[in-house]
Amino acid sequence: MSQITKTHDPIVAVKNIGKRYGAINALAGVTTEVRAGEVTCVLGDNGAGKSTFIKMLAGAHTPSEGEMLLDGEPVTFSSPRAALDAGIATVYQDLAVVPLMPVWRNFFLGSELTKGAGPFRRLDVKRMKTITYTELDNMGIDLRDVDQPIGTLSGGERQCVAIARAVYFGARVLILDEPTAALGVKQSGVVLRYIARARDRGLGVVFITHNPHHAYPVGDRFLLLNRGTSLGDYAKADITLGELTSLMAGGAELDSLAHELERSMGADSPVVKELEREAEALPEAAREELVPPTAS
């Protein structure tokens, strides 16, 4: 699996897709792609439409407009199961683990390995434990005891088990829903390392986050969402961390914040200067769209 290298054709590509719930436009005009061995980061604040987006990718919602391509062919997923069968696995925030159950049981939950036949068909405990241990080891986690309840693992380790599980069961695209949201700095670092490792094993990773500092180091593409619309889809070469941060914070908000601070702190204050520089650094396209005429 680790032999797979980056290909030039995206596994999944979406073109101008959107979702309406009745009269409400949850998301519109989103375009991006996921390639093998690359990490596509989806950034946005709360309510930006991130979860609507991943639900469409994962097959929980069908898009009401636009087009989704799988290996270049148009595709519609009728259910999460269908998306899973196509190799698109989602690791939700709750990780879909059962805290009181041992790690190995969680790893194979729903897809248990068995031996024997008829009424004597039974779990192949030994094999499942061995595979769990090996797969986790491959991801760089050394659990000496796969029999401990998964609830005893740290948040980062649990993320890793969920990722390793998706990889083992043949995922080509891995959607990670805010895997670092509830974690501290150190644990977040651990998770980012596993994301990189999954990428290196040739998976296309969709990494949803609201933290540009987590996204930038591992990301290859950055899709920015704000209030149901796309702010743009950038390759890493086209955007800097600073620009990403500014876009995330929202150019207009930064400008007005700078003005407010100017009044209270004086125009020469270093903080204000910094903010103005950041607003200045925004990419042209985004700035035109974002910044209302009165603000400049």
Q: Which of 4, 7, 47, 112 binds another protein (CB under 8 A)?
A: 112
Three-state DSSP class for residue 253 = helix
* Cβ 39 to another protein shortest distance, Å: 22
Region of 13-21, 87-95, 185-193, 215-223 interacting with another protein (CB under 8 A): 87-95
Q: Which is nearer to another protein, 112 or 253 (CB)?
A: 112
Tell me: does residue 76 bind another protein (CB under 8 A). Answer: no
Pairwise CA distance, residues 111 & 168, whole Å: 11
Report the nearest approach of another protein to the CB of residue 226 (Å).
28
83: helix, strand or coil: helix
SS3 content of the chain, % helix, strand, coil (to 5): 45, 25, 35
- Contact flag: residue 238 with another protein (CB under 8 A): no
Residue number with CB closer to another protein (96 or 249): 96
Contact 163, 3 (CB under 8 A): no
Alpha carbons 196 and 205: distance in angstroms, whole number = 9
Among 69-77, 105-113, 176-184, 197-205, the segment contacting another protein (CB under 8 A): 105-113
| Residue choice 19, 55, 61, 105 for contact with another protein (CB under 8 A) | 105
Hey, is 175 helix, strand or coil?
strand
Decide whether 99 or 292 has the Cβ nearer to another protein: 99
263 secondary structure, DSSP code: H
Q: Using CB under 8 A, which of the segments 11-19, 145-153, 177-185, 268-276 binds another protein? A: 145-153
Please name which of 177, 167, 197 lies closest in space to residue 57, comparing C-alpha atoms: 177
Cβ atoms 119, 98 nearer than 8 A? no
Binding site for another protein (CB under 8 A): 80-81, 84, 90, 92, 94-101, 105, 108-112, 114, 121-123, 125, 144-145, 147-149, 151-152
